[in-house]
């Protein structure tokens, strides 16, 4: 889904009080598990690639140089895989890329070139949206660069996600585990600054990953407390300052959704969260499936020939990658179905 169709999906989520899971995909079995989960839940799905995930999609045998070519091509390959299959699953699928810091802008440029090329041929961008994360820069510079890119993206109906403040924890090589606690909570003025910078460029074509104590990764209960009312304050502040009728003038994105309670998730949705990122929990479910398979079939996995049924029995049907990866997939489908439940998004397409 791109352009107006994409906005219609987000508005449907906001109007019906649910959010869409966004899963970091690094290989086709994970992509397919996402599509399978979306079909099972009868709900939209956001498939996203990080910079490292894109490079992995391209194959680690290709070195990802400073021009980010391997990461770009891996993301493009992943997107084409999704586009070839999505319609057979019968659910709306959104294609997105995750965090892009200033150092990774060549990756972003390469992705936009791929979108522009695709747009010239098909009248829509290859990806529905991209994230630009310049939260490590000053908010002024963050918004200046973001507005420049949004203008270029709006010309091809591509949507932009930006980040302000800091998502705690560690993901894809970015470590914020020692962040200043104050930076983990966005102020209403900062959220309004994003609105002022981006809405005039392309009204409604952007979302905000604001910091409300969210953390990448799953840790034992710690110092940071998830505080969804920060999002409510931001919406109310924009409504008041801009004299708007709507209670939720901006789309919010929830990063670091893994390990969050259903109560906190539902509260955040109530304040305009329409997308929740899940990475760590699906990494675990994928591994958990393999772990249980290996434990269950241990005696059939020690050599190509010979198992408890006889010394000459072949083990091919046990070590075939489709056997153990299928367990990884089904565990991931189950984990994502639980995410749809948390996000109040089961059977969303019937709402």
Chain contacts with Zn ion (rule: CB under 5 A):
255
- Nearer to Zn ion by Cβ, of 191 and 325: the residue is 191
Tell me how far apart the alpha carbons of residues 46 and 38 are, in angstroms, rounded to a whole number. Answer: 9
- Nearer to Zn ion by Cβ, of 269 and 276: the residue is 276
| Residue 98 known to be catalytic | yes
- Nearer to Zn ion by Cβ, of 166 and 333: the residue is 166
Q: What angle do CA 297, 301, 305 make, to 5 degrees?
A: 125
Tell me how far apart the alpha carbons of residues 133 and 126 are, in angstroms, rounded to a whole number. Answer: 20
* Burial (CB count <10 Å: 0-12, 13-18, 19+), residue 266: middle
Tell me how far apart the alpha carbons of residues 47 and 82 are, in angstroms, rounded to a whole number. Answer: 8
Cβ contacts of residue 53 below 8 Å, gap of 6+? 24, 25, 26, 74, 75, 78, 98, 172
Q: In angstroms, what CA-CA distances link 255 with 79, 159, 221?
A: 21, 17, 17
Side-chain half-sphere exposure of 56, counting CA atoms within 13 A: 12
- Nearer to Zn ion by Cβ, of 143 and 211: the residue is 211
- Nearer to Zn ion by Cβ, of 255 and 335: the residue is 255
Q: What angle do CA 56, 62, 65 make, to 5 degrees?
A: 95
- Residue 107 CB, shortest distance to Zn ion, in Å, is 16
- Residue 171 CB, shortest distance to Zn ion, in Å, is 6
Q: Helix, strand, or coil here: 312?
A: strand
- Residue 172 CB, shortest distance to Zn ion, in Å, is 8
- Residue 307 CB, shortest distance to Zn ion, in Å, is 44
- Residue 272 CB, shortest distance to Zn ion, in Å, is 18
Q: Helix, strand, or coil here: 254?
A: strand
- Nearer to Zn ion by Cβ, of 135 and 315: the residue is 135
Cβ contacts of residue 13 below 8 Å, gap of 6+? 19, 20, 44, 274, 345, 348
- Specify which residues 253 forms β-bridges with: 275
Out of 11, 67, 98, 281, which one is annotated catalytic?
98
| Cβ-contact 165, 44 below 8 angstroms | no
- Residue 293 CB, shortest distance to Zn ion, in Å, is 30
Q: What is the token pair recorded at 201?
A: 């460029």
**Other beta carbons within 10 Å of 222:** 10
Tell me which residue has its CB nearest to Zn ion. 255
Give the residue numbers annotated as catalytic, written as ranges: 98
């Amino acid at each position: 889904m791109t352009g107006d169709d994409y906005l219609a999906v987000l508005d449907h989520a906001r109007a019906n009080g649910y959010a869409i899971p966004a899963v970091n995909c690094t290989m086709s079995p994970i992509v397919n598990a996402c599509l399978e989960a979306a079909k099972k839940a009868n709900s939209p799905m956001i498939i996203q690639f990080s910079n490292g995930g894109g490079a992995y999609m391209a194959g680690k045998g290709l070195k990802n140089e400073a021009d980010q070519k391997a990461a770009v091509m891996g993301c493009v390959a992943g997107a084409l895989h999704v586009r070839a299959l999505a319609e057979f699953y019968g659910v709306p699928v959104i294609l997105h890329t995750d965090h892009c810091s200033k150092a990774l802008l060549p990756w972003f440029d390469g992705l936009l070139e791929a979108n522009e090329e695709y747009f010239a041929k098909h009248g829509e961008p290859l990806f529905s949206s991209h994230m630009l994360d310049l939260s490590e820069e000053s908010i002024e510079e963050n918004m200046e660069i973001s507005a420049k890119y949004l203008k270029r993206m709006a010309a091809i109906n591509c949507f932009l996600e930006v980040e302000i403040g800091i998502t705690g924890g560690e993901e894809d090589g970015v470590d914020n585990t020692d962040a200043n606690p104050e930076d983990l909570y966005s102020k209403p003025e900062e959220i309004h600054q994003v609105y002022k910078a981006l809405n005039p460029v392309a009204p409604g074509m952007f979302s905000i990953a604001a910091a409300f104590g969210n953390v990448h990764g799953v840790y034992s209960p710690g110092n940071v407390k998830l505080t969804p009312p920060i999002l409510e304050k931001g919406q109310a502040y924009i409504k008041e300052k801009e004299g708007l009728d709507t209670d939720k003038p901006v789309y919010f994105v929830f990063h670091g959704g893994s390990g969050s309670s259903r109560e906190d998730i539902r509260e955040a949705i109530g304040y305009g969260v329409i997308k929740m990122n899940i990475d760590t929990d699906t990494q675990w479910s994928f591994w958990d499936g393999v772990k249980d398979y290996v434990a269950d079939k241990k005696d059939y996995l020690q050599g190509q020939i010979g198992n408890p049924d006889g010394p000459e029995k072949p083990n091919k049907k046990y070590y075939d990658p489709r056997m153990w990866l299928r367990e990884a997939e089904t565990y991931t489908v189950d984990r994502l179905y639980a995410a749809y439940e948390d996000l109040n998004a089961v059977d969303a397409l019937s709402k």
